[in-house]
């Protein structure tokens, strides 16, 4: 693991914690739309931290072997010449199964089930009015609550990893 990858793991973990705290505050204040946005970022950052720490060639901070990047990239194989940038939570959802193997599989499958709440989460939601033409919230309060639980689950995994150095 490179110094850049170690730094990225730490930065993603710190960002995840910060976004979660802010999202929880907003959610408790019933400002669900913005809270939902930050829950998505918290989950994304925590998952990226875990993926960078616990996958080998699959997720790296290099687009190519000799090209460091400030963003994580995912490869389908060790010799993949065309890695894909690991973007927001939608892309992270697709990569999360890379962690779900071995002894840690069942616990991580539980987390994977929860983060499926982010299916349909979109970065562009931040530009939308939070209330639809029918007067109802565009993002159901129950979905925001599910996404909160999912983000908290990922941050719990991250906290476990920071304490033990291992997946549960």
Residue with tokens 């840690």: 104
Q: Where are the alpha helices (DSSP H) in the chain?
A: 3-28, 32-54, 89-95, 105-115, 141-164
Mean pLDDT of 14-32: 96
pLDDT digits (tens, 9 = 90+) for 39-79: 999 999 998 888 888 776 566 666 666 677 777 777 766 67
Q: Which residues are within 8 A (CB) of 99 and not within 5 positions of it... i.e. 6 or more apart?
A: 50, 51, 54, 55, 108, 167
Count the domains in the chain: 1
pTM: 0.83
Q: Residue 27 in contact with residue 35, Cβ under 8 Å?
A: yes
The pLDDT of residue 150: 93
CA torsion 114-149-111-138 (nearest 10°) is 30
Distance of CA 61 to the CA centre of its chain: 16
Per the structure, the complete domain to which residue 105 belongs is given by: 3-164
Hey, what are 138's tokens? Answer: 């565009």
Mean pLDDT of the residues in the chain: 82
Separation CA 6–CA 63 (nearest Å): 16
44 vs 90, which has greater pLDDT? Answer: 44
The pLDDT of residue 30: 92
């Amino acid at each position: 693991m490179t110094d850049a990858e170690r730094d990225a793991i730490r930065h993603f973990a710190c960002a995840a914690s910060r976004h979660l705290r802010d999202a929880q505050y907003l959610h408790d204040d019933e400002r669900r739309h913005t809270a939902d946005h930050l829950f998505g970022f918290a989950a994304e950052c925590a998952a990226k931290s875990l993926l960078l720490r616990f996958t080998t060639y699959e997720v790296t901070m290099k687009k190519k072997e000799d090209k460091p990047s400030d963003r994580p990239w995912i490869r389908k194989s060790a010799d993949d010449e065309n890695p894909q940038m690991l973007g927001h939570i939608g892309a992270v959802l697709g990569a999360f199964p890379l962690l779900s193997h071995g002894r840690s599989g069942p616990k991580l499958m539980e987390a994977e089930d929860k983060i499926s709440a982010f299916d349909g989460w979109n970065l562009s939601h931040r530009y939308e009015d939070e209330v639809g033409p029918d007067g109802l919230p565009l993002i159901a309060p129950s979905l925001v609550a599910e996404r909160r639980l999912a983000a908290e689950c990922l941050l719990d995994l991250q906290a476990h990893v920071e304490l033990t150095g291992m997946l549960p």
